[in-house]
Amino acid sequence: MFEDIVKRKSTGFDTKTQCPHCRTTNITLYIVQGVMNDKRKQEAHCRMCNKNWYIIHDRDMSSAYVQYI
């Protein structure tokens, strides 16, 4: 039974908490900025590979995608 739970575990990428370059969770998130009426932009910085990127959220911050700097 435990093996079934481990097999079903998602191995996907979490855009809000992981670096898109090195996949670590050692990131710093900066203040959220308003881009347009329905979008929010948040800058992120990885402390492992020293790269920056933007996380673009919906208005309710439910879905997000990465925009590279």
pLDDT at 11: 55
Residue 36 dihedral angles phi and psi, to the nearest 5°:
-135, -170
| Residue at 33 is within a domain | yes
Residue 54 domain-assigned?
yes
Q: Decide if pLDDT at 1 tops 60.
A: no
Beta pairing partners, 45: 28, 52
Please check whether residue 9 lies inside any domain of the structure: no
SS3 of residue 40 by DSSP: strand
Is pLDDT of 58 > 90?
no
pTM: 0.71
Sign of CA dihedral 31, 36, 39, 43: negative
| Residue 48 belongs to domain spanning | 21-68
- Asked whether residue 46 is assigned to any structural domain, the reply reads yes
Q: Is residue 7 part of a domain?
A: no
In a domain, 16, yes or no: no
Q: Beta partners for 66?
A: 55
Enclosing H/E stretch for 31: strand 27-34
Is position 4 within any domain?
no
Q: Is residue 60 part of a domain?
A: yes
Q: Higher model confidence: residue 63 or residue 46? A: 46
pLDDT tens-place string over residues 8-54:
555 577 888 899 899 899 999 998 887 677 888 899 999 999 999 99
